[in-house]
Chains A and B, each alone.
Chain A
């Protein structure tokens, strides 16, 4: 089945630094990947849609200059949290869909970001 690998699973960084999170589709090509943010005991909030070879589409209220998305290839999308602040601490999850008859998006295992 479709596998999406997300790395790192956990990261702690200092305020003001930048953190890069990688999302890879291991056994399929994904022209589109999605980035979500999840707060404790809350649902997944879509942050942006990552499109291979073009600019990402951000949801309303998401700062595109703060959350940089690069979809450099058909198997890799990255989310960079720039100038991180403690309020950016959250669980970030990516997903991709194989685009076959097996409908349903596959999610990465998530990245727990803690900004201190």
Chain B
């Protein structure tokens, strides 16, 4: 079993719809949870990160973590064609001031917003 599971999609939704992307994880020691967006042939870029359980909102994006069920979600409101990309969830055990904490990634979900 992979430590972080993510439905690879593809997922297609019409412009303006609310998108829900989800991951599950198995390692209960994970503390930090991140969502990355990756455009084709580019490196991933960080969208949001959360610590432990709870919600975090940034513009049209909301990240949600439920540690009791080991469930990670990303919601995109008023989706735009420019949101079309692959979205990767990631988790880590701890935060490191020295930047040496490993990330464990999900497979990524390919999202297409249809104009």
Please tell me if A78 contacts chain B, counting CB pairs below 8 Å: no
- Asked if A43 and B42 sit within 8 Å, CB to CB, the answer is no
Interface residues of A in 78-105 (CB under 8 A from B): 91, 93, 95-100, 103-105
Cβ–Cβ contact A107 & B99, under 8 A: no
Chain A residues contacting B42 (CB-CB under 8 Å) are 109-110
A112 at the interface (CB under 8 A from B): yes
Query: Which B residues are in CB contact (< 8 Å) with A77?
Result: none
Q: Is B46 an interface residue (CB 8 A)?
A: yes
The 8 Å CB contact of A31, one of B6, B46, B100, is B100
Give the nearest-CB partner of B97 in chain A.
Answer: A99
Q: CB-CB < 8 A to A75: which residues of B?
A: none
Query: How long is the Cα–Cα vector from A107 to B45 in the complex, in angstroms?
Result: 7
Is B43 in the interface zone, CB < 8 Å from A?
Answer: yes
B36 partner residues in chain A, CB cutoff 8 A: 107
**Interface digits, A19-58 against B, CB 8 Å rule (1 contact, 0 not)?**
0000000000011101000000111101001010000000
Q: Choose one: B8, B32, B43, B45; the contact of A6 (CB below 8 Å).
A: B43
Closest to A91 in B: B41
Indicate if the CB atoms of B43 and A96 lie closer than 8 Å. Answer: no
Minimum CB–CB distance from B62 to chain A (whole Å) comes to: 17
**Distance from A94 Cβ to chain B, minimum over Cβ atoms (Å):** 8
**B103 in the interface (beta carbon within 8 A):** yes
Name the residue on A nearest B34 (C-beta): A104
Q: Report which A residues bind B (CB closer than 8 A).
A: 4, 6, 30-32, 34, 41-44, 46, 49, 51, 91, 93, 95-100, 103-110, 112
- 13 A-B pairs with C-beta separation under 8 A: A4-B43, A6-B43, A41-B110, A42-B107, A43-B105, A43-B106, A43-B108, A93-B44, A97-B99, A103-B49, A103-B95, A104-B49, A108-B43
